Structure 1
Amino acid sequence: MVSGEQTATEYIKHHLQNGQIGSGFWTWNVDTIVWSVLLGVLFLWSFRAVAKKASTGVPGKWQCFVEMIVEFVDKSVRESFHGKDKLIAPLALTIFVWIFLMNLMDLIPVDWLPSAAMYGAYWLGFVDDPHDVYMKVVPTTDLNTTFALSLSVFALIIIYSIKYKGLKGFTKEMTLTPFNHWALAPVNLVLESITLLAKPASLALRLFGNLYAGELIFILIAMMGLFQLPAHFIWAAFHIIVITLQAFIFMMLTIVYLSMASSEH
C-alpha cells in the first residue's frame, strides 16, 4: 500500500529502482545478483535431490513433476535441434527452469519482500529512512539480466558456428551470404552482422519488455488499497501464462539458433 510519505509517482519509482552499490560503469544491482543466484541454487538443489532419490518404483509427486519437465524439454530439443551435442538438452533445461523461476517471483505481491527489506534494515539501524532501501525481486525485469542471458547464447552461437563449420566456413557464411559473389562480400558482412547481432538483442528485449510491463501492472494494482488482492490474483492467474511462455520462447529460440549455427549448410 502507498505510504503516506510517498506520492504515487515516488512509490512507482521506488519499486522500479534496483538496490545498487558502486557508481558509474561499476554499478552493481545487488538485488538482481542475489535473487538470480538464490533461484539458480534452488533449481540445482531441487533437481539434484530428485535425481539422487529417483527410483523405478512409484515416484513421488515432485519426482513426477520434475520428470515431466525433463521429458518436455528433451522432446523440444529432439524436435528442434538437428545436430548431435550433449550440451543442448542440459542448457535448454537450465534456461527454461531458471528463467521460469525468476519470472515466477513476479507473482509475489510487490510490497511484501521489499517492505520486509526496507523496515528490516531500518529496525536493525542500517538506514535512517526505510525508503532509502531499494529491492527488486524479479531479476528478469532488470535489462542487465536478460542481456547477460542473451549474450551467453550469442557466445554459444559463435562457438558452435566455428566448431561445426570451421573458421573458414564461418567466414564464408558471413561474407558470401546471401549474395554469393566476392565483390559483394562487404555488403554480405554488414547484412549478416546485423542479423547475428539482432538475435541476442531480440532475446533480451522480448523477455525484459514482457516482464517489466507485467511488474508495472502489479505495482499499479498495489496502489488500489483494499481492492488490490482480488485484482492481484486475477492478473496473476493470467500472468502465469506469460511467465511460462516467455521462458519457453527463450529456450526454444536458443535451441533453434544453436541448431542453425551447427548446420553445415
Structure 2
Amino acid sequence: MSGNTELTTSGYIQHHLTNATVGEGFWTWHIDTLIVSAVLGLIFVGLFRMIAKKADTGVPGKLQCFVEMIIEFVDTSVKETYHGRSKLIAPLALTIFVWIFLMNFMDLIPVDFLPVLVQKIAEWGFGADPHHVYSKVVPTTDMNTTFALSLGVFVLMLIYSVAIKGVGGFVKELTLHPFNSPNKLVQALFIPVNFLLESVTLIAKPISLALRLFGNLYAGELIFILIALLPWYGQWFLSVPWAIFHILIITLQAFIFMMLTIVYLSLASEDH
C-alpha cells in the first residue's frame, strides 16, 4: 500500500490507523479488533490445551518445554506477589500475559501485509473498493481493547474487595484512609477528603493500565508505519533493528499488565 500513488502520506497513515467498523455512534463495533482478538484467544486456548493433553513425564518436546517455562514463570510471579488465597489469580495472570503478548506480537507483522490481503479479498470476493476497506491487526493499538481489559481487572478488584472485606470494610477503606484520627469529630471531617483521594486512586488504576498498554503499542505501530513510507532500502535498515527492540517492548508490556493486575488484586484481598 505504500507504493499506491493515489494515497498521500497523511492518507496512508490515516488508512492504517482506521478500524473496520459496523454500527453507528455508541454502538460502533471495531470488527477487525474483535476478530483478531478472538482468533488469538482461540490459538492460545487451543495450543495450551493440546500441550496439556499431550504432556507426559518422559522427555518433553521443545514446545512443551516452552509452555512449561511460561507457566512456571507466571506461577512464580503470582506466588511472590499475591498474598491472598485464590484459585483464580494464577490462571488469570497466565491468560493476561499470553493473550496480551499475542495481541502485541501482531505489531511485528509487516504493516502492509495483512491490510493489503484483506483489501484484495474484499475486492476480489465482494467487489469492494479497496480504498474503503480498513483493517487494524494489532488489537492493543485500539483503546477499546485496552480499556476492556483494564475494566475487567477493575471489576475483579471491586469483587475481591467486597467479598473479603465486606461492604462495610470496603466503605471504611474508602473513607477512613489515608488520614485517620482517634478524635471522632476530626475523623468525620476527614471522611470527604479521604473518600475523594481513595476514589481517585481507585479509578486511576484501570485508567493507567489501559493507557500504558495502548500508548506503548500505538507508538510502536506508528513508527512501523512511518518506516514503511521510506524507500525499500531504508525500510530494511530501520525496520529490522526496531523490530528486534520491539520484541522487548511487547513482552515487557504484557508482563507489566500481568504484574499490576496481580498487585491490584493482592491489595484488594488484604483485610486491614
Return the TM-score normalized by structure 1: 0.98
Q: Does residue 111 of structure 2 align to residue 110 of structure 1?
A: yes
Q: Which runs of 5+ in 2 are unaligned?
A: 181-186
Tell me by how many angstroms 1:85 deviates: 0.6
Q: Which runs of 5+ in 1 are unaligned?
A: none
Q: What CA distance in whole angstroms lies between the structure 2 residues aligned with 1:3 and 1:225?
A: 13
RMSD: 0.8
Structure 2 counterpart of 1:198, from 193, 198, 204: 204
Q: What CA distance in whole angstroms lies between the structure 1 residues aligned with 2:201 and 2:72?
A: 32
Q: What CA distance in whole angstroms lies between the structure 2 residues aligned with 1:125 and 1:184?
A: 64
In structure 1, the partner of 2:152 is: 152
Q: What CA distance in whole angstroms lies between the structure 2 residues aligned with 1:74 and 1:126?
A: 50
In structure 2, the partner of 1:210 is: 216
In structure 2, the partner of 1:166 is: 166
Q: What CA distance in whole angstroms lies between the structure 2 residues aligned with 1:160 and 1:233?
A: 44
Tell me by how many angstroms 1:123 deviates: 1.5
Query: Contact (CA 8 Å) 1:2, 1:11: kept in 2 or not?
Result: no
Q: What CA distance in whole angstroms lies between the structure 1 residues aligned with 2:268 and 2:179?
A: 19
Tell me by how many angstroms 1:260 deviates: 0.4
Task: Say how many residue pairs are matched.
Answer: 264
Q: What is the identity percentage for the equivalent residue pairs of Structure 1 and Structure 2?
A: 65
Structure 2 counterpart of 1:222, from 207, 210, 228: 228
4+ residue runs over 2 A deviation:
none
Tell me by how many angstroms 1:147 deviates: 0.1
Tell me by how many angstroms 1:126 deviates: 3.4
Q: Does residue 90 of structure 2 align to residue 84 of structure 1?
A: no
In structure 1, the partner of 2:122 is: 121
Q: What CA distance in whole angstroms lies between the structure 2 residues aligned with 1:94 and 1:159?
A: 19
Q: What CA distance in whole angstroms lies between the structure 2 residues aligned with 1:41 and 1:32?
A: 14
Tell me by how many angstroms 1:125 deviates: 3.2
- What is the identity, as a one-letter code, of the residue corresponding to 2:246? H
Q: Does residue 263 of structure 2 align to residue 259 of structure 1?
A: no
- What is the identity, as a one-letter code, of the residue corresponding to 1:229? W
